[in-house]
Amino acid sequence: MKQLANQCEGEDQALLARLADLAESAGRWGKPCFSAFLTEHEQAVARRMHPVPGVSFSLEGGHPNAERRIFAAVPDQISPEKIDYPFDALTILMPRGYSVSHRDALGSFMALGIKRETLGDILVGDSLAVVFALRPAALLILGELRQIGRVGVRCSRGLPEQLPEAHRLERLDGVVSSMRLDCIVAMAANVSRAESARLIAQGLVSCNAQVICAPAREIAAGDKISVRGVGKFQIAGIGAPTKKGRLRLAYDKYC
């Protein structure tokens, strides 16, 4: 477990070094420099960046509630309205009455040879999807994507009048013996405590965008738990104990 924690910290330091190089380049050349799209954890790491004189930092994803964002290092002499962020928003239309899942859309993009870090949020709704993509990936999607799964699609630049919801939340409930992370993961992922501990030990579980390696970590209402390969959950509330002293939980599953 200690080895995994050291590995995670090493990856974080490597990311900070790459972002510092971008900031240094922005200051040296007097033009904005950008990263690929970052996960929520990587964004949390990016917020630890030390200030660089004459350069401002921001995280941009294309819409106010974006989960995946790029890191932008911009010289102070460049006004915000003149920044050309290196990604496009694409609207993907389907026949009326058809829809696809986030997983299906992502799979179709990656089947074109597109890497995940070149894609921002993928929002799916009734008869349409919206994706934010770095320009080379956006051009490939525009030129090559003709269907998602078995559904024929048409792609164009720009946003629809209303963005689809980023997630659909399904309210669920359960009981746990304690608010330890391994108990919460076992309940939400529907696995045994032993399997839950294994997932945590392998660095596959994060809380509020931070990888957690300690199964005894206490979880509170409002915390977001992500289990790689399983899904994301948020603790909505803690109810009265059962007669056997177990805790009743309400939690939301991101669908």
> Residue 42 — pLDDT band, cuts 50, 70, 90?
very high
Does residue 164 sit within a domain? no
Does residue 130 sit in the same domain as residue 177?
no
Mean pLDDT of 111-126: 96
Does residue 211 sit within a domain? yes
Q: Apex CA 227: angle with CA 225 and CA 231, to 5°?
A: 90
For 176, the token pair is 């746990």
Mean pLDDT of 200-214: 92
Q: Is pLDDT of 165 > 90?
A: no
Over residues 176-185, the pLDDT tens digits come to: 999 999 999 9
CATH number at residue 149: 3.30.70.330
Domain that holds residue 173: 169-254
CATH number at residue 24: 3.30.1370.160
Does residue 197 sit within a domain? yes
Asked whether the beta carbons of 225 and 234 are under 8 A apart, the reply is yes
Does residue 162 sit within a domain? no
What is this structure's pTM? 0.82
Does residue 72 sit within a domain? yes
Instruction: Report the 3 state secondary structure along 91-157.
Output: EEECCCCCCCCHHHHHHHHHHCCCCHHHEEEEEEECCEEEEEEEHHHHHHHHHHCCEECCEECEEEE
Query: Among 98, 123, 157, which residue terminates a domain?
Result: 157
Over residues 2-40, the pLDDT tens digits come to: 565 556 678 899 999 999 999 999 999 999 999 999 999
Question: What is the greatest pairwise CA distance in the chain?
Answer: 67
Helix (H) or strand (E) holding 14: helix 2-29
